[in-house]
Amino acid sequence: MNTDNHAKIQKSSKQDTFEHPDFYGMDSLLTEEHIMVRGAVRDFVKQEISPYIESWAQNAHFPLEMVKKFGDIGAFGPQLPTEYGCGGMDYISYGLIMQEIERGDSGMRSTASVQGSLVMYPIYKFGNEEQRKKYLPKLASGEWLGCFGLTEPDHGSNPSGMTTNFKDMGDHYLLNGAKMWISNAPHADVAVVWAKNEEGRIHGLIVERGMEGFSTPTTHGKWSLRASATGELVFDNVKVPKENLLPNKSGLGAPMMCLDSARYGIAWGAIGAAMDCYESARKYCAERIQFDKPIGSFQLQQKKLAEMLTEITKAQLLNFRLGQLFNEGKATTPQISMAKRNAVETALNIAREARQMHGGMGITGEYPMMRHMANLESVVTYEGTHDIHLLILGAEITGIPAFK
């Protein structure tokens, strides 16, 4: 995205007074650390994202300075061990961080969850100690930005069909191919790239900016995630040192494990966006006068608010239980698919209803719904489309995979 229009960025005069809905008293299930972490990130979003996000989105501006700020508050890889500069927190803390950031904007959450779940997680999980010590502290601090290269121009929902490949040249690997729709790519210092070796086996490689033949063209013209940087990864005979191969896991299961971690964060994050839209609609219903009374006094508006709160509450409970399962090491891919799919569908429906409740004002940057709605159209597609998650659940239920 365009990063040269910083002069156009305007700070909103509206104060962010968000307080989350907690109809079932779920805060009583959280620890003091959970509440402290959530509060710190919420304050950060109110100060560093909310006043600028509409202007960033309107101008298709990715605020590169946010990378270091996210590092400073521990938003990158908070669930990874402290010995690598990470937070050492549990998965519920991680979920709450993603919820608060996406309440600010899905693009901002994408930046954070790609870094933590799709770049740092595979280096920690599948890398060796030398790789962990070299990359994780710099990624955790925000000194470096990372991206994850799996999707290709012709292989999205079917990543096993990838054509990006590498050959053993004796003292190095030679990497060729291209990846598409890659968050953070235009500014990434490091890319975790999935490619096939000469036997057709998928491996992860760490590719660094500056390697000859490696380029990251920016994707322009997006109507969604406009405050996030998206691009391609192009590999033209890139010489990758052998020590940059992730040694501890190969096959498609390796990137799928990364996606499980990221999808978990999306499940929490999307509900953050839903909460923002709900809170905006609830406040607007009290302020907007029609027929000599607040529109919140009309039955149809109350129905919409009641349904929004019900769906948010259901998703909160689903996410919390999934967080417990993650903490116990028991969360399954179909369980994660259910939560991701449910959260994004819930958030999209709430964004659309909230937009209608605001009337014409709902299409402007005065209120967040149109931005959230457009962002969520990407979130419903990436890291497993809505339909693919449905089929993952269907295969779990019936034992018959419908997409093979």
Q: Which of 152, 145, 153 is nearest to 209 (CA)?
A: 145
Q: Largest alpha-carbon pair distance within the chain?
A: 80
Rounded Cα gap, residues 82 and 209, in angstroms:
26
| Bridge partners for 206 per DSSP | 192
Q: How many CB atoms lie within 10 A of CB 209?
A: 14
Q: How far out from the chain centre does Cα 149 lie?
A: 15
Q: Take residue 62 and report the two structure tokens written for it.
A: 């990715």
If you ran DSSP here, which 8-state letter would residue 4 be given? S
- Chain-centre distance of CA 291, in angstroms? 42
Structure tokens at 61: 């501006």
Q: Are the C-beta atoms of 164 and 178 separated by less than 8 Å? A: yes
DSSP 157: S
* CA separation for the pair 76, 120 (Å, rounded): 8
Active site includes 383? yes
Q: List the Cα angle 192/194/200 in 5-degree steps.
A: 155
Task: Given the residues 54, 100, 353, 383, select the one marked as catalytic.
Answer: 383
Dihedral sign, Cα of residue 181, residue 183, residue 187, residue 190: negative
Token couple for 180: 């598409």
- Asked whether the beta carbons of 96 and 38 are under 8 A apart, the reply is yes
Which residues are CB-neighbours of 111 under 8 A, at least 6 positions away?
66, 67, 70, 145, 183, 184, 228, 229
Catalytic residue IDs:
383
